[in-house]
C-alpha cells in the first residue's frame, strides 16, 4: 500500500518526499476536500516532485463542462513525466451530469501531454455533499473508463472516514471496486490511528494531509510526521501479510 501526501506548495514537496511519501498530491486545503491549486502553483509543485515519484492533482468538484475545461486547462503547462500522473475529480456539484462529466474528463485527459490516469472521488458523507453514493461512483468510473476510485470525506469537521463508514462497509466497497478492476484509494481526515486501520484493508493507496502537517490541514507538511505515518503504514501492511 502506498502513502499519498497532499502538498499545497512546492515548498512542502521536499518534506513529503524525505518523509517517505510514495505519491505527492497537489491540493489547496482551504478550497475544500479536493481544492485545486492555481496553475502557477501546480507547475511549481510538478517541477519540485522528483521524476521518479508519481504526481497526483486535485481538480475539485466541477459543476459543469465549462468548469471542467477550466480545471483541466491547468494541466497544459505540465511536461510529460516518467512516473505516473493521476487527476482526481469529485462529483458533488455535477448532479445528473456526473457520468457525462467524468467521461469527458477521461477523454480530455487522454489528449494532454501528461496523459494522466483519472480517479473518480466518492464521498463517505455523500448525502451531505450532494454527491453520488460510493457504490454509484464505482459504477460510473467503470462505465467511463476511469482508472481508479478514491473514497474520501467531503466535510472535514464531521469525523474521519471510519466515522461515516464501518469496516465491513469499507471492505464491501473495496471489493466492488477491485472486482471492477479499479485502483482503490482511501482518505478522509485520517489520523495515524486511521492510517493503521486502513493498513488492514486491501486498498492500494492511503491519502493524508492534516496528519502529515504541523498545524493541521492548513498547516505545513512535516518530514517527521510523514515518516511516522509511513512507518505505521508499513508495519500495518506487514502485520496483515
Q: Residue 241 above 90 pLDDT?
A: no
SS3 sequence, 11-37? HHHHHHHHHCCCEEEECCHHHCCCCCC
pLDDT of residue 239: 84
The closest alpha carbon to 20, from 195, 202, 185, belongs to 195
Provide the pLDDT for residue 104: 97
Task: State the pLDDT at residue 226.
Answer: 98
pLDDT for residue 218? 95
CB 20 within 8 A of CB 227: yes
List, in sequence order, the alpha helices (H) in the chain.
Answer: 13-19, 39-48, 65-73, 98-110, 126-129, 134-144, 161-164, 167-179, 192-198, 223-240
Identify the pLDDT of residue 190: 97
Q: Provide the mean pLDDT of the chain.
A: 96
Q: With bands split at pLDDT 50, 70 and 90, how would you rate the model's confidence at 143? A: very high
Residues pairing with 24 in the sheet: 5, 55
Residue written as grid cell 480545471: 71
The larger pLDDT score, comparing residue 118 to residue 239, is at 118
* Inter-axis angle of helices 98-110 and 134-144, nearest 10: 40
pLDDT band at 193 (very low <50, low <70, confident <90, very high): very high
> Cα–Cα–Cα angle for 35, 196, 229, nearest 5°?
60
Catalytic residue IDs: 27, 88
CB distance 185 to 204 below 8 Å: yes
CATH number at residue 109: 3.20.20.380
Q: What is the pLDDT of residue 158?
A: 84
Under the banding of pLDDT at 50, 70 and 90, the label for residue 77 is confident
Say whether pLDDT at 202 is over 80: yes
Distance (Å, whole) CA 165 – CA 87: 25
Tell me the mean pLDDT in the region 178-186.
98
Q: Number of structural domains, the chain?
A: 1
pLDDT tens digits along 90-131: 999 999 999 999 999 999 999 999 999 999 999 999 999 999
Q: Is the separation of the CB atoms in 148 and 183 below 8 Å?
A: yes
Q: Could you tell me the residue range of the domain that residue 146 belongs to?
A: 2-240
192-199: average pLDDT: 96
Q: Mean pLDDT, to the nearest integer, of 6-12?
A: 98
Reported as a single tens digit per residue, the pLDDT across 11-68 is 999 999 999 999 999 999 999 999 999 999 999 999 999 999 999 999 999 999 999 9
Q: How far apart are CA 142 and CA 136, in angstroms?
A: 10
- Residue 157 above 90 pLDDT? no
What the block records as the C-alpha cell of 22 is 510514495
The pLDDT of residue 17 is 98
For range 187-199, the mean pLDDT: 97
Amino acid at each position: 500500500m502506498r502513502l499519498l501526501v497532499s502538498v499545497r506548495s512546492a515548498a512542502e514537496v521536499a518534506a513529503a518526499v524525505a518523509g517517505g511519501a510514495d505519491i505527492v498530491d497537489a491540493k489547496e486545503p482551504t478550497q475544500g476536500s479536493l481544492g485545486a491549486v492555481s496553475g502557477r502553483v501546480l507547475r511549481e509543485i510538478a517541477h519540485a516532485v522528483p521524476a521518479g515519484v508519481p504526481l497526483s492533482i486535485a481538480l475539485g468538484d466541477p459543476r459543469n463542462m465549462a468548469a471542467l475545461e477550466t480545471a483541466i486547462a491547468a494541466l497544459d503547462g505540465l511536461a510529460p513525466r516518467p512516473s505516473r500522473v493521476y487527476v482526481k475529480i469529485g462529483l458533488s456539484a455535477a448532479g445528473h451530469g456526473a457520468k457525462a462529466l467524468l467521461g469527458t474528463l477521461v477523454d480530455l485527459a487522454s489528449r494532454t501531454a501528461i496523459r494522466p490516469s483519472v480517479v473518480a472521488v466518492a464521498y463517505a458523507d455523500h448525502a451531505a455533499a450532494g454527491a453520488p453514493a460510493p457504490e454509484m461512483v464505482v459504477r460510473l468510473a467503470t462505465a467511463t473508463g476511469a482508472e481508479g476510485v478514491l473514497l474520501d470525506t467531503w466535510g472535514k469537521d464531521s469525523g474521519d472516514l471510519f466515522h461515516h463508514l464501518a469496516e465491513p462497509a469499507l471492505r464491501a466497497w473495496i471489493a466492488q471496486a477491485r472486482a471492477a478492476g479499479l485502483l482503490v484509494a482511501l482518505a478522509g481526515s485520517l489520523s495515524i490511528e486511521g492510517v493503521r486501520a486502513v493498513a488492514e484493508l486491501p486498498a492500494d493507496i492511503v491519502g493524508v494531509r492534516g496528519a502529515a502537517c504541523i498545524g493541521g490541514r492548513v498547516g505545513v507538511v512535516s518530514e517527521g510526521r510523514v515518516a511516522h505515518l509511513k512507518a505505521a503504514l508499513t508495519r500495518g501492511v506487514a502485520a496483515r501479510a
